[in-house]
Structure 1
Amino acid sequence: MASSSSHGEQHLLRSSSSTDAPTDRPRLHSFDGIEDPIDNDHSSQNTAVEDGNLRRSAEGDGLLEKEEDRRTVENSEPKSKFAWAVFWIIVNTLATIGIVFTNKAIFSDPSLKLAQLTFAAFHFFMTWLLLYTLSRPRFAYFVPRRTTIREIIPLSVAMALNVILPNLSLAFSSVTFYQVARILLTPTVATMDYVLYKATLPSNALIALVPACLGVGMVSYYDSLPTNDSSVKTTSSLGVIFAFSGIFASSLYTVWIKSYQRKLQVSSMQLLFNQAPVSAFLLLYVIPFVDIFPTWSEVPVNRWLMILMSGGFAALINLSQFFIVGQTGPVSSTVVGHLKTCLIVALGWITSGRSVGDKSIIGVFIAIGGIISYSIVMLRYAAQKPG
């Protein structure tokens, strides 16, 4: 699922309290009834004083221990949360890069390039399996909530197209074009929000989207030009068509997710838990008529390993996104998204065989600069909004 990462959303680490005081405190015994042969009255008075001092000392020590434990917990919790957030950000970044290049390697095999629906169904199953595990009482990261199949079918179809079309784009495109073209998701979603819900953007944000669109256009043009150098990876016309079709499908899916969450009163994890198996089930009816299967016994072992790795990366992306959303703010999430885009584009460029002087690099910088400017404008706009 190179393009669907998922939209997940909440909680997370449960920090155990370390302020529990020992329950078996030393019990202070009374000396009543024990006669001192020398001076019983004086001895009992001294004993009472000693008992009081012991009690005050023990209580004071207990309070100090509790205070020290409380301070330790308060100091360690932010460090622990920060460390876990950094860990999951690294996992998410590496898994996203890994799935793009692994899927590209899988689709470079002509026998697997046209088995896209089967591949998508496999990813949907892996997503469902992960969410099922997270919903079990042992983990209890979210509580499943059932919806009817009739309610979820349109969104499940959109989810399938959201995966299949971008994967087809990746199969017929260079990695650089595939990733840069995904920048168009932002202006497309904004346009759909306006058409469907009359939602508007600040004028500065709209201005920032102009260079982003122009940059993608430049990359589309120069990356699809034919070349005599066989070592240079280019984008075919089919790759461009699948890319823009996938952007439309992904944008519609993104807009519908918000609408379905409001309508069904579910979290994104609960929604995805219902969608994934329905999407996989629907594909089973279409796979025999669309996919062209390889001779499975002739598929090399390394390709099977790549397919398993791709499924693992998909699970890690969903899992890490689940934790990132719960532990970081919008600024961190936005920065991570741009970091992944830049890394994938850079690695794609390095492996594409293109020279530094290739004109499409100008479009790459313009597109990335535009989308980063847009993100800065929107984050400032969100910070200024009341409440």
Structure 2
Amino acid sequence: MGEISSFQLGVIGALFLSVASSVSIVICNKALMSNLGFPFATTLTSWHLMVTYCTLHVAHRLNLFESKPIDTKTVVLFGILNGISIGFLNLSLGFNSVGFYQMTKLAIIPFTVMLETIFLNKQFSSRIRLSLFLLLVGVGIASVTDLQLNLMGTVLSLLAIMTTCVGQILTNTIQKRLSVSSTQLLYQSAPFQAAILFVSGPFLDQCLTNKNVFAYKYSPVVLAFIILSCLISVSVNFSTFLVIGKTSPVTYQVLGHLKTCLVLGFGYTLLHDPFTERNLIGILIAIGGMGLYSYFCTQESKKKQGDLCLGSSQIKDKETAALLAGVHQDKESHEVKKSSKDSVV
């Protein structure tokens, strides 16, 4: 029971850290990009990853965690894939309307469910699927406004969905199959993610904004927000790997939509963004879907634990019965031998 409670506390802590840090960085980046006019999202992400790696490297040097060697090919491909997925998401936002981009993010959950069902033989009950459907409907109502389609944007969105889903599934699979922690995996892969975005970021940002990140005039306020964003990103990146490792890619996406609802709420209260009844209704439906998802996952987890305990108990009972039967048989055999010996005498 102690181990289960400790694990549950770890999951709750990871979820809370992920929500708090993600909402914080969204608000920080929104102020940086919308209010201060710093539009270079991909380049900023590369700085986030570099700061994350440097922070983890210092922590490693201070013996705060142990580095576990992982196959170089696996780490490189994993890091590059995650870097590419970030690039595709940014390109999707640049070539699509905000509404279609939100639909792209919503499509990640069903696509992840499909991939895990096909390739990992993971089963999702009808109750889980229903709760996910309610969640997606709610977030869609709250956040999707316009849907403007174009060929390039659609292709980029599909690539963003595929790379993001595969990357998140691998984040979970690598941690479990190679028995590495979220910190160890992030420490190993962050340099490769940062490298690909550091190289491609300025080019992508130039294509999307027609501005050069190196020609931008950095005021002290902008620099302060960039530093703050990079510091928060350490927690964001760490909690992302932690949540996916402790739960699942689908749960992480559900958590991501909770962040969307919170960002909408904070945007209204702190940044005075427009907020309508449609937003409110959508958020309430989404929260209902999240609540059902959490409840059903908890119930199914308890059922699995009960089945495991019952199975182990039955195995133990069978072993005990077999042992007793063996002892009884030996005793009978001994008595038969003794009887035979007495009759001979």
TM-score normalised according to structure 2 size: 0.65
- Offset of residue 367 of structure 1: 2.6
- Offset of residue 169 of structure 1: 6.7
- Indicate which of 103, 122, 127 corresponds to 2:29: 103
1:262-292 CA distance string (max 9 Å, x none): 5544332221111100122233443454332
1:83-110 CA distance string (max 9 Å, x none): x999988765543222011112223279
CA distance, structure 1, for counterparts of residue 84 and residue 272 of structure 2: 27
Would you say the 8 A contact 1:165–1:242 is kept in 2? yes
For residue 299 of structure 2, what is the aligned residue in structure 1? 380
- Number of residues of Structure 1 aligned to a counterpart in Structure 2: 290
Would you say the 8 A contact 1:156–1:275 is kept in 2? yes
The reply to whether residue 361 of structure 1 matches residue 280 of structure 2 is yes
CA distance, structure 2, for counterparts of residue 329 and residue 286 of structure 1: 31
- Indicate which of 219, 233, 244 corresponds to 1:314: 233
For residue 113 of structure 2, what is the aligned residue in structure 1? 190
CA distance, structure 2, for counterparts of residue 345 and residue 238 of structure 1: 28
- Offset of residue 173 of structure 1: 9.6
CA distance, structure 1, for counterparts of residue 280 and residue 88 of structure 2: 25
Q: When you count helix as a share of all residues, which structure comes out higher?
A: 2
Would you say the 8 A contact 1:216–1:364 is kept in 2? yes
Structure 2 counterparts to residues 330-345 of structure 1, below 5 A? 340-345=259-264
- Offset of residue 128 of structure 1: 0.9
CA distance, structure 2, for counterparts of residue 172 and residue 303 of structure 1: 26
For residue 299 of structure 1, what is the aligned residue in structure 2? 218
For residue 126 of structure 2, what is the aligned residue in structure 1? 203
The reply to whether residue 120 of structure 1 matches residue 45 of structure 2 is yes
1:94-139 CA distance string (max 9 Å, x none): 43222011112223279642x3332221111111122222223x34
- Offset of residue 343 of structure 1: 2.8
Would you say the 8 A contact 2:135–2:285 is kept in 1? yes
CA distance, structure 1, for counterparts of residue 22 and residue 287 of structure 2: 18
Q: Structure 1 residues 322 and 256, CA, compared in 2 at 3 Å: closer, same or farther? A: closer
Q: Structure 1 residues 117 and 344, CA, compared in 2 at 3 Å: closer, same or farther? A: closer
CA distance, structure 1, for counterparts of residue 29 and residue 154 of structure 2: 18
Would you say the 8 A contact 2:91–2:204 is kept in 1? no
Larger Rg: 1
Letter in 2 for 1:99: I
Letter in 2 for 1:125: M
- Offset of residue 297 of structure 1: 5.8
RMSD, aligned α-carbons: 4.5
Would you say the 8 A contact 1:183–1:371 is kept in 2? no
CA distance, structure 2, for counterparts of residue 94 and residue 219 of structure 1: 20
The reply to whether residue 276 of structure 1 matches residue 190 of structure 2 is yes
Q: Structure 1 residues 177 and 307, CA, compared in 2 at 3 Å: closer, same or farther? A: farther
Would you say the 8 A contact 2:135–2:289 is kept in 1? yes
CA distance, structure 2, for counterparts of residue 165 and residue 182 of structure 1: 12
Letter in 1 for 2:33: F
Letter in 2 for 1:196: F
280-289 or 304-313, larger mean C-alpha shift = 280-289
- Indicate which of 126, 132, 138 corresponds to 2:57: 132
Would you say the 8 A contact 2:92–2:153 is kept in 1? yes
- Paired-residue identity, %: 25
Q: Structure 1 residues 294 and 287, CA, compared in 2 at 3 Å: closer, same or farther? A: closer
Q: Structure 1 residues 120 and 193, CA, compared in 2 at 3 Å: closer, same or farther? A: same
Would you say the 8 A contact 1:179–1:345 is kept in 2? no
- Offset of residue 184 of structure 1: 5.2
The reply to whether residue 259 of structure 1 matches residue 173 of structure 2 is yes
Q: Structure 1 residues 310 and 239, CA, compared in 2 at 3 Å: closer, same or farther? A: farther
> Match of 1:298, SS?
coil
Structure 2 gaps, min length 5: 207-211, 309-345
CA distance, structure 2, for counterparts of residue 194 and residue 219 of structure 1: 28
For residue 7 of structure 1, what is the aligned residue in structure 2? none
> Match of 1:354, SS?
coil
- Offset of residue 174 of structure 1: 11
Q: Structure 1 residues 256 and 203, CA, compared in 2 at 3 Å: closer, same or farther? A: same
Structure 1 gaps, min length 5: 1-10, 12-77, 227-235
CA distance, structure 1, for counterparts of residue 91 and residue 243 of structure 2: 28
